[in-house]
């Protein structure tokens, strides 16, 4: 910067001033810090003056004459003066040099006070212009950086719908951090969610990236997670550099990714070579924004309590696995895991204990599964698991292991201690599977059967199991019943009940209910009543019947008689 600063000057504006200020000078020059000529009032004498201006001029050394002006004698009765141009921020940026032939201009060449005043006056104008140029350039640089930051923020998508779209958005976010911050590499790590993404700048990548990633996912991660605070390492003697970053020579900036409860669930980090990038507060603010974007993306398809993918994320993963199964003729096992009587824990010990139990079980399930398996929390007390490349026999063994591991847990609060069990439904996923919704419904039906069979057991959904097939058919009625209730598509019938012998006793009526299907046809209670009874829809149906029966009685009371 210093050597090139003088090229910012518009020398045409100073040409007349320099000639008037240095009367009698054979040449006036502007030279940079390397003594290279930038401008000369007498280009014809350029070679001679250049040689004379070089510092290795034998015994012709520079001597201070005061007020920042130096002078030296040159051969052929010449005197040369120079004045250093000093900027506030950049320091020494060059010289003003005046060359005199003492025989031609004895008065001016020996008038030190006049020369000092001339140098000071000209330098003041030049330095003011240089300071303005520097300030404008700095503002332009800052505006460019802000523009790039806005590009980074607005080009990084955080409103997503599908699980795969979220994974792509996170990868794009990490890539943007490398591009816009111009760093060696960036990494996004959420250990509990199984997210390990990184992007490298091949041109400026630091050495041993794998070692750096290991440190990011261990010591740096643990520090940021525990402190819930960003970390910035720029100084060579920074204590955190030795303690957390193994003394590596790169600069580091890492920011926590937070969940909705204010807990750190991961980190977003950027690493750069020390000689190429020093992280600023602006970088810190920008990475904070990007970490918040990452949080929004993650929470779209992850459960905030456990960190597992949620139902929508699981459905997207299952859809991809099913497509792969059909093309590769593979088999997987889908498990529906339900924690038995979690509501008892919530009622007796509080929802905080219930939430802690859910988190403990989620952590335990992760430890029991392979990296290739998929684990999700569907909500409440329900988990879903896909065991990849797994037949039913092995799937049953794993399901039983899961139940036994959960059964070994207890919940203790004060003097109370409760045991914990789980029921598991299992269904095979193969090329004959009729879509993910059918598979998930079958696993849930098998799980319900396990719970109704006494809890703490595994039930396999099989096509030739008439009981489970019947349950599957009943499941379809749940939505139809709920929709009919919303649309008031039930009809009441009154069936008289008369005594056979004693006609003096008052007559009675039995109120019957029928359901209208989507086409308006009447449906027998035998079709929808079993599903309503099994899946706790009867209270809703009972209230509809009672409310509408009394409404009819009130409306037609006069016609019914005493």
Sign of CA dihedral 450, 451, 457, 458: positive
Lowest-confidence pick of 39-48, 93-102, 317-326: 39-48
User: What residues contact residue 46 under an 8 Å CB cut-off, 6+ apart?
Assistant: 37, 40
**137-191 pLDDT tens trace:** 777 776 666 666 666 555 555 555 555 667 788 888 898 888 888 899 999 999 8
Report how far apart, in Å, the C-alpha atoms of 155 and of each of 285, 350, 369 are: 17, 44, 37
Identify the residue with better confidence: 128 or 47: 128
Contact between 182 and 157 under an 8 Å Cβ cutoff? The reply is no
- What's the pLDDT score for residue 139? 74
The whole-number average pLDDT for the span 307-311 is 88
Q: What is the DSSP letter of 423?
A: E
Identify the residue with better confidence: 357 or 505: 357
Beta 458-460 vs 422-429: how paired, if at all? parallel
- Cα(528)–Cα(522) distance, rounded to whole angstroms? 12
- Cα(6)–Cα(11) distance, rounded to whole angstroms? 9
**2-32 pLDDT tens trace:** 557 788 888 888 888 888 888 888 899 999 9
**467-502 pLDDT tens trace:** 666 666 677 788 889 999 999 999 999 888 877 777
The whole-number average pLDDT for the span 84-106 is 82
Lowest-confidence pick of 81-90, 102-111, 275-284, 311-320: 102-111
User: What residues contact residue 478 under an 8 Å CB cut-off, 6+ apart?
Assistant: 531, 535, 537
- What's the pLDDT score for residue 158? 55
- What's the pLDDT score for residue 488? 92
**DSSP states of 343-376:** HHHHHHH-HHHHHHHHHHHHHHHHHHS-TTSEEE
Angle at 164 (CA atoms; ends 162, 165), nearest 5 degrees: 65
- What's the pLDDT score for residue 559? 66
**218-257 pLDDT tens trace:** 999 999 999 999 999 998 888 888 888 988 989 999 999 9
Q: What is the DSSP letter of 506?
A: P
Half-sphere exposure of 29 (CA within 13 A, CB side): 30
- Cα(312)–Cα(298) distance, rounded to whole angstroms? 12
Q: Percent of the chain, pLDDT > 90?
A: 33
Identify the residue with better confidence: 479 or 425: 425
Buried b (16+ CB within 10 A) or exposed e, 134-145: beeeeeeeeeeb
| Residue 125, pLDDT above cutoff 70 | yes
Sign of CA dihedral 123, 128, 133, 138: positive
Query: 3-state DSSP helix/strand/coil percent for the chain, to nearest 5?
Result: 50, 25, 30
> Token match 């209208």: residue?
516
- What's the pLDDT score for residue 159? 56
- Cα(199)–Cα(205) distance, rounded to whole angstroms? 10
- Cα(76)–Cα(361) distance, rounded to whole angstroms? 96
Q: Is 511 helix (H, G, I), strand (E, B) or coil?
A: strand
Structural domains of the chain ordered from first start: 5-134 (3.30.450.190), 158-300 (3.30.450.40), 311-463 (3.30.70.270), 481-560 (no CATH)
- Cα(502)–Cα(508) distance, rounded to whole angstroms? 13
The whole-number average pLDDT for the span 84-109 is 79
Token couple for 241: 């550099």
> Which residue spans within 430-560 are E strands per DSSP?
458-460, 490-497, 508-516, 522-523
- What's the pLDDT score for residue 57? 47
The whole-number average pLDDT for the span 405-412 is 87
Token couple for 149: 């930051």
- What's the pLDDT score for residue 156? 59
**313-368 pLDDT tens trace:** 888 888 888 887 877 778 999 999 999 988 888 888 888 889 999 999 999 999 99
User: What residues contact residue 128 under an 8 Å CB cut-off, 6+ apart?
Assistant: none
Q: Is 26 helix (H, G, I), strand (E, B) or coil?
A: strand
Q: Name the band, by pLDDT with cuts 50, 70 and 90, for residue 414.
A: confident
Q: Name the band, by pLDDT with cuts 50, 70 and 90, for residue 215.
A: very high
- Cα(455)–Cα(452) distance, rounded to whole angstroms? 7
| CA-closest candidate to residue 273, choices 176, 184, 208, 177 | 184
Please list the residues that pair with 338 across neighbouring strands: 382, 423
Q: Percent of the chain, pLDDT > 70?
A: 87
10 Å Cβ neighbour count for 401?
Answer: 11
């Amino acid at each position: 910067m210093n050597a090139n600063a003088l090229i910012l000057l518009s020398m045409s504006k100073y040409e007349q001033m320099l000639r008037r200020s240095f009367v009698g000078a054979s040449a006036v020059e502007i030279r940079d810090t390397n003594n290279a000529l930038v401008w000369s009032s007498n280009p014809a004498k350029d070679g001679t003056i250049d040689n004379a201006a070089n510092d290795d001029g034998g015994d012709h050394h520079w001597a201070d004459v005061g007020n920042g002006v130096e002078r030296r004698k040159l051969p052929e009765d010449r005197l040369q003066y120079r004045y250093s141009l000093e900027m506030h921020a950049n320091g020494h940026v060059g010289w003003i040099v005046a060359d005199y032939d003492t025989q031609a201009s004895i008065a001016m060449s020996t008038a030190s006070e006049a020369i000092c005043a001339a140098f000071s006056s000209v330098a003041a104008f030049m330095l003011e212009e240089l300071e303005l140029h520097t300030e404008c350039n700095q503002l332009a640089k800052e505006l460019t950086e802000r523009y790039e930051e806005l590009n980074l923020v607005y080009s990084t998508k955080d409103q997503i719908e599908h699980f795969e779209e979220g994974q792509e958005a996170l990868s794009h976010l990490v890539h943007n951090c490398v591009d816009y911050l111009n760093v060696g590499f960036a990494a996004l790590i959420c250990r509990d969610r199984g997210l390990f993404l990184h992007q490298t700048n091949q041109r400026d990548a630091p050495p041993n990236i794998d070692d750096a990633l290991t440190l990011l996912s261990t010591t740096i991660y643990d520090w940021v997670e525990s402190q819930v605070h960003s970390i910035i390492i720029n100084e060579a003697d920074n204590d955190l550099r030795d303690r957390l970053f193994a003394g590596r020579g790169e600069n580091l900036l890492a920011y926590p990714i937070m969940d909705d409860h204010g807990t750190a669930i991961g980190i977003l980090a950027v690493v750069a070579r020390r000689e190429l990038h020093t992280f600023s507060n602006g970088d810190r603010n920008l990475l904070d924004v990007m970490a918040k974007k990452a949080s929004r993306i993650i929470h779209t398809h992850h459960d905030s309590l456990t960190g597992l993918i949620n139902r929508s994320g699981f459905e997207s993963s299952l859809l991809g696995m099913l497509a792969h199964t059909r093309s590769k003729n593979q088999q997987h096992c889908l498990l529906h895991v339900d924690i038995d009587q979690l509501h008892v824990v919530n009622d007796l010990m509080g929802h905080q204990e219930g939430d802690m139990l859910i988190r403990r079980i989620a952590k335990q399930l992760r430890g029991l599964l392979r990296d290739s398996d998929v684990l999700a929390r569907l909500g409440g007390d329900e988990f879903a698991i896909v065991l990849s490349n797994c037949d039913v026999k092995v799937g049953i063994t794993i399901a039983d292991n899961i139940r036994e591991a959960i059964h070994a847990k207890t919940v203790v609060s004060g003097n109370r201690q409760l045991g914990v069990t789980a029921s598991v439904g299992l269904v095979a996923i193969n090329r004959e599977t009729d879509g993910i919704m059918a598979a998930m419904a079958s696993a849930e039906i098998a799980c319900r059967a396990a719970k109704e069979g006494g809890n703490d057991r595994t039930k396999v959904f099989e096509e030739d199991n008439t009981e489970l097939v019947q349950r599957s058919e009943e499941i379809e009625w749940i939505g139809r019943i709920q929709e009919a209730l919303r649309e008031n598509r039930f009809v009441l019938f009154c069936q008289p009940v008369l005594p056979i012998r004693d006609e003096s006793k008052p007559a009675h009526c039995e109120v019957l209910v029928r359901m209208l299907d989507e086409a308006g046809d009447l449906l027998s209670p035998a079709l929808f009543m079993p599903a309503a009874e099994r899946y706790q829809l009867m209270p809703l149906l009972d209230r509809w019947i009672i409310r509408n029966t009394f409404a009819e009685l009130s409306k037609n009371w006069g016609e019914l008689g005493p």
